[in-house]
Structure 1
Amino acid sequence: MEAKEWVDAAREFLRQSLTPPAPHELNELDWKRELTPNKERFAEHISAFANRTKGGFLVFGVTREGKISGVSEAEAKETISRVGSIARNGLEPACMVDHLIEPIADSDRVLLCIHIEEAAQKPAHLRGKSLEHSFIRSAGQTRRMDADEIRAAMLQSRTIRFEELTISSPDSQKTLDEMDISPVCSRLKIPVSGEPERRKEILVNLKFAARTTAGLLPTFLGLLVAGKDFKMIPGCEHYGIRLTRYKGLSRLEADHDKFFFSGYVHSFDQIIDDIVSLLPTSEVIEKASRKQVPVYPEIALRELMANAVIHRDYTRTDSYVQVEIFEDRIEITNPGPLLPDMSVDRLIDQQPRARNEVLAARMRELGFCEERGSGIDRAAAALEVYGLPAVHFINNPDSFRAVLYSPKPYKAMEHEERLRTAYQHTCLHHVMGQKVTNASLRTRLKLAEKQSQLVSALIREAIKAKIIKVANPGTSPRYIHYIPYWA
């Protein structure tokens, strides 16, 4: 079985601490010959390591003088049980621990290494006592925190994100057992084996599961990415995606309605394929051959779909991410509005703060969406290449919607559509370091050179609406170019 992620660090710290001529304990690692009956003192050690960045290690089987003596396998098992009990019941919040038993060459004894994970909520202190009973490692020793250190630890505490929460329900174990991580491991090039312990370690490292005082439990991240069926967990039924195609322009009659309830690593590509299969196509000539292509760019669909599942509000359990296909448009809607520090007119070239950062990071790693902040840009750029109207973002009190429109000539575009297209064209060009001119906007709108006056009028309207501005005022009209209002 492959080593756990923390093992190499533990071995290196142990090597450093035992190096002659003066073996010594470190802030990262403490060694003991055996576990003594003093539970409170060991709770203090666990508190100190849990309050450290990246946690720390207790090694059993090393004498006070730094000589490896080992412990018997029976002693190791008893120590694991007792330390786990102290970590669960002797500290607040309960601390997570893991272990590794290392055989000693030419001996029937072993070294036992206990890994104490860093606490998310700090300071970890003795259960039933005040925060003054919080501990820290200093100069290789465990001591009580002072008031300033307690305040600093509280500031370092991070809020546990929704995706990291564990799922505790009657079907939690079944959800964990049926979680298919093989496509995740394949995409991330993680070696796998048939050993149950190796699978558990991968689940924990991916944050798809977490070790708790109740045992290994699945996390919402694991369910969302690799879960077999969202419906297995009460309240998660609406984490799925609903794909509907309607006849005509309204929702009066649907001719296709399908739900997807499996984790995104299993369903995301299938959803995109199904959307594309339902779209109208146009004929293009490519390499002297006629070819049918969807009227909407697939890259835009992928990015906006990824945006919807990443930014949806998963505390809302009453509605799905919805993809609705109409004769003249596609609407992609996710529960939950934009976060308060984000605005619709700054989605291009804005570094967004995802509502679900952990899920967003995993989706990027798996290749389902672009690097942070570039997905909306890519979607908008793809619409430009296809000559479609700009995407319409609508931020409602309880949802966020992206609307893609089918091809339409300039004369058929409404005034707001024209302004929106001019604005997003200006934003994209500014991001790419290119100049926006009458000619570039005319090309974007598929207008002839003789129609430049239409573009000039649109530019004047956009300036009047204060969404773009002249980049070089006072310049000859033929050299004027434009930038977004915020540039």
Structure 2
Amino acid sequence: MEDLLQLIKNHESKILEFKRDLSSILPILKTIVAFANTAGGTLIIGISSEHKVIGVKNVSLAEEMLANVIADSIFPSILPEIEIATVQKKTIIVIKVPHWRGPFYLKKEGTPNGVYIRLGSTSRPAGPEMIEELKRSVTNLSYDQQGIPELTLKALNFDQIREVFNAAKREIDEKKCHSLGIVTCVSDKVVPSIGGLILFGTEEFRNKYVPDARVRCARFRGVDKAHIIDQFEVEGTILDAILEVPKFIARNTRLGADFQHFRRKDIPEYPELAIREVLINALVHADYAIGGSTIQVAVFDNRLEIQNPGMLPFGFTLDDLKAGVSRIRNRVIARIFHELKLMEEWGSGYKRVIDTCRENHYPEPEWEEFGTSVRVTFFSFGKNRSLPSVKGQLSARQQEILSLLRGTKNMSFKAIVEKLSEPVSDRMLRYDLAELKKRGLLTSLGKGRSTVWQSHT
């Protein structure tokens, strides 16, 4: 009973919904179908949207009616557990719907219109891409395992394959390419798999067949997306993102400092190992079948977000993730990342991220599922870690600008651009110079194109 009372206090979610009564049966059926298709769930009837216990009249008749209408209205057949419970001296109905391989749909609406999934606390029509994923979950064939019959092996960069595997000290040959799923057979023809193309395809064929299998990064001024000051798109495959994204983050975030035993130790604003782990998980678990969505890394003044397209796999919840349960969406990509030692034990990523943050005194990140995406948010250590000096709050690029100006009388904007070790947009450099000037570390002389910059340190 205590568990039920606690459940009633919770907000509606992917796996929980309340209905006041049985006056409208269609929304109830849609919810049951959505629960069955997505991750299971509990539907409680006799509870208002304000969590007030209303109760159900003629509960025995209501229970029988529900059982009959569920059996008559949903295909394939589903047998939810229907219970009668008493709360605050009022009788309610609790329907526990298991997740099972469907797709389930309303007979009256047919398929595809009658297929529903759970998005947050709402039940929505699944749409073509989601229905295809539901069907794949029945066959145990992941999207990235599918072959592309119209392509030949010329679509793959075998030099890159050898280079990547040699760097990891792993052997690779034609047989291994088959066993890892980089290539597969379609009608007795050996062709690239979708996963093989995502990881090792030539630029021409990746852009044509998997154009959204890429990572985009942006640095925003402030705490929203109103003003973008730096952006970067990883060239190459998603494997290149493992090296390139941390570089973008480093030049767009601050460094703090700890002083121990009279020595300074630079502290990055965000936990580097944890970010790498979350980035790799995003690359492995993204839903590459969703068109128009890329993996995104967004840096704000107070947080860093890593977001991948694709809700959690069907039958999987955030609680499962935190408990260490593993559910693989992309079997080829996951297998290759594991082979290259980019991933460790299945299901250990969440714990490793949390342990890293705790051990290094960073705020714990937050995981959330919204719509058809999963986002992990890291919070700046500025929330709970004091920075010892203004200089300790500078990004790596801002510190490099100061070093350049200390070695000369003054420099023009163009000269600074040419001297920096990595390319930077004009907008981002103006932002950096303005920040350094605001903190009293730089001054500017002249106006317009004749402006030069001097160090105050």
TM-score by length of 2: 0.49
Q: Greater relative contact order (Cα 8 A, min sep 6): structure 1 or 2?
A: 2
